[in-house]
Amino acid sequence: MKKIYDMLKLENIKILPGVKDWREAIHVAVKPLVDGGYCEERYSDEIIKNTEKLGPYYVLCENVALIHGSTEQGVLKRQIAITLLKKPVKFKTDGYDVRILITLAATDAESHMEVLQAMSELFESQESTKKVLDASNEKEIYDLFVKAV
């Protein structure tokens, strides 16, 4: 339970009207982590390069993307940011509509696993996903994630 409090801060949750494309989605999703000193500015550029090479490997399902790069691509401290887009974005033409961007800055391969497990359980339920999509403020989203752990 404690790890979610260490890895998700209320100030790293944002609700935005929308973005012009997937590249902007990555930049806005990573921005709270850059602003908080959890990763370097280049982290979003590295994720964009990865996407151009590998495709949108982080789109998990309809509405949900777990945006992340590797630890050596500018991660300073472990943390999660959540961005809810009111208008969905597509990461490829025939791909899913995505509105929930979970951005992960991980310093190693293990320390964030408990949090990822809780998130997968949260999004396993359509009802829980709908609650996140319908959230009217950042605190609501924070409470949903904390409750999932």
Sequence-distant (6+) residues with CB within 8 A of 30 are: 39, 43, 44, 47, 67, 81, 103
Which of the residues 44, 68, 105, 129 is marked catalytic?
68
β-strand pairing of 8-16 with 59-61:
unpaired
β-strand pairing of 79-90 with 97-105:
antiparallel
Specify whether 27 is catalytic.
no
Contact 63, 97 (CB under 8 A): yes
Q: Known catalytic residues?
A: 68
